[in-house]
Chains A and B, each alone.
Chain A
Amino acid sequence: MANFFRLTKNQHVELADGRTVTVTDKLGEGGQGIVYRVRFDTCEERALKWFFIGYLKDPQKFYSRLQKNIDDGAPSDAFLWPEQLTKYVAGEPFGYVMKLYPQGYESFAKFLLAKVQPQSNAAWVNAALNIVDAFKSLHNKGYNYQDLNDGNFSINPTNGKVLICDNDNVVPYGEESGILGKARYMAPEVVRGDKKPDTHTDEFSLAVVLFMLFVGYHPLEGKRTNFPVLTTKYEKRIYGENPLFIFDEQDKSNAPHETLHKYAPAMWNNLPSFVRKTFQRAFSQESLLEGRNRPLGQDWFNVLVRLKSSIVRCPFCGEEIFLESDAPTTCYNCKRSIKAAGYLKFKSRASQEVTAPIFRDAVLYDYHMDSSSKDFLTAAAVVLEKPGKFGLKNNSRSKWIVTTPDGRTFTRQPGETQVLVADCKIDFGNGSSAQVIVNN
């Protein structure tokens, strides 16, 4: 039997469970294999990833690991997980079938190339939250990804749903996939060769992805990293040995390049201070050189929900902006300054401050109503504005107890609106409450 690296149209491939699929088309090709469109006898379609086994140090072990991942099941819906392996024949190539990419998703690469734009800030923040969520569920299952990069996930620009693809490098914690990853997305200690990839280094890659998602550029590529040619030596220097954040607070020597990274300052300044601070922590020298004090997935989660509830429209030009809770924000579009009358201050979560500006149409989510909720999609309250006053409409399913500074209490049922006055406290039930803080 021929040792076939590549499959041809109409070729039959036997799966481990005895069923066969027929190759109908080629979908794409990567560094590790080719992906074909295949069909079952039932006409059901799948994608078949077919490996270049020459790259695998131990094909049989790789095969068994994939089998185990299949048996364990996907960490969450966000993963396009392997479904079924092809039959194993020693020395011959193999692959696995998975679902085809569903409609509506665009590769992250296309967003970076500005070929696709997110349709709203909410969709964009949702995408970030979905990525953080997916990695949390992956790590909770005891896996790490090891090769998170711009080629591994797709985003739906309308709602921010995320699809994590290319899951064959996922390995149980402590094991190595044998994949080096792209230096651009790797933790500096891995680039330097000090450490093997693990969940901790995955968290770093996550921060890089989040930065590229929001700022559009790479956090370590600034004016001093602009070498005429990228060789391993420079790659090591930029991402491993001598890394410096382009928005480092102390050292500005790697600030964005004037023309190459022209829009970086505007993109950066469009983010509220608490997001910028979190990035500064993620890419501090401490984090880059010693791997210490990095924000964790749960930190990002809380920061991002806070970001989501800061989305409002500029009252002057109507553009979507992220509004600071307690400081003026300059609209990126009309350049006018906007300041919230005050904000709601919640109990912190996982040591992250939780606030939401009191500004027309600002939204609170189920997350804000229940201290154990992770739901950032279900709107539970909205800020309303009438001449001379603000109100918070209860769109949740629980009644709220409101306490005024002088000690009076009211109950607000779902559907009712509470007028917001200085220092009054709203108890949303389920362990969550917030206080109205007036600015200035």
Chain B
Amino acid sequence: MVMKRPEIPRKMCPVIFLLDTSGSMDGAPLGAVNRAIENVLPELISMNNDNPDNEIKVAVMTFDYDAKWIVGETELLSPDDVSKSWRDLKATGYTSMGAAFRALNDKLSVSHGFMQRASGSVAPVLFLLSDGEPTDDYKAGLQILQQNNWYKIAVRVAVGYGEANYDILREFTGNEGTVLHTNDTDELKNTIRFVAVTSSRVASQGSSVSPDDPNANPDDNTQTVANALQNQGGNLNAKLDPEDDF
């Protein structure tokens, strides 16, 4: 026998989904969201298996009549645990986006939220999905959120579907390069997956690629992901044969 090696402590890379489950999402769109999340989780698990620097942990909030944490209410969970307990989301009600932003702000805190981790964290991924106009005062919620330091350094990405208000999504991300939109349910699944996987990879790996612009703010993680979505994307409009879709 030899001395057993310890496991190196990792920083947490929080990946937080804010998902619009208002009534208009019912049917095919929500089906696409459910399938997309199911597909994203194994990718996050495999990223974790290979990353000695950071560990992805997940939280999922839905918003309709109100904002509700489906996963991670008290503590962010490993994608493995999420995958084991995942149940399909149901759609009903309004689009309480302002409430969602407020609820997120409450949790983005070390002292009273879910950002506590002994070994520290890296910038979180904030993923917003919506298909329509907010039915509450989104602006007031967003203004509070925008003061949050975690929000400021976060990788902010958004996927809009159908009637989604592009300007609001853009306001949330603060970067047009990380807002993607689609009107097609098949494409919705691929778009969610592409955006969620790419942003999680960039956030969890830290970038070993030098920025094109040496004067760029290195902590503008949203811009880093915008570059990645542009450089690593392509073919989102093609109807991919599931057989071909690795």
Q: Tell me the A residues contacting B by CB distance below 8 Å.
A: 2-6, 8-10, 25-26, 29-32, 52-55, 57, 107-115, 117-121, 124, 147, 149-151, 178-184, 212, 216-218, 226-233, 259-264, 266-267, 270, 318-320, 332-333
Contacts and interface: CB of A to CB of B under 8 A. Distances in A.
B157 interface: no
Contacts of A147: 208
Interface size band for B: 35 or more
Question: 10 shortest A-B CB distances, which residue pairs?
Answer: A54-B231, A5-B234, A26-B246, A112-B52, A263-B6, A114-B7, A232-B218, A180-B210, A52-B231, A8-B244
Nearest to A270: B3
Interface in B6-65: 6-9, 11, 49-53
B210 A229 contact: no
Interface of B: 1-9, 11, 49-53, 110, 115, 117-123, 150, 153, 201-202, 205-210, 212, 218-219, 227-228, 230-235, 240, 243-244, 246
Nearest to A212: B8
Contact of A228 (B110, B205, B232): B110
Q: From B6, B121, B206, B243, name the one whose CB has the most chain A CB atoms within 10 angstroms.
A: B6
B123 A229 contact: yes
A378 B140 CA distance: 73
Contacts of B209: 31-32, 55, 179-180
Contacts of A111: 5
Question: Which DSSP category, helix, strand, loop or mixed, fits chain B's interface?
Answer: loop
A182 B207 CA distance: 7
Contacts of A259: 118
Given A5-B233, A229-B150, A31 B6 contact: no
A320 B1 contact: yes
Contact of A29 (B9, B201, B235): B201
Given A6-B234, A31-B205, A231-B219, A261 B1 contact: no
Contacts of A113: 7-8, 49, 52
Contacts of A270: 3
Given A5-B233, A25-B246, A231-B153, 17 more contacts: A3-B234, A31-B207, A57-B212, A110-B49, A151-B50, A180-B209, A181-B208, A184-B53, A217-B9, A226-B119, A229-B121, A230-B121, A232-B219, A319-B2, A320-B2, A320-B3, A333-B1
A363 B31 CA distance: 64
25 contacts: A4-B235, A6-B234, A8-B240, A54-B231, A54-B232, A57-B212, A113-B8, A114-B7, A117-B2, A121-B2, A149-B208, A150-B53, A180-B207, A216-B5, A216-B8, A228-B110, A228-B117, A228-B120, A230-B121, A260-B9, A262-B6, A264-B6, A266-B3, A320-B2, A332-B3
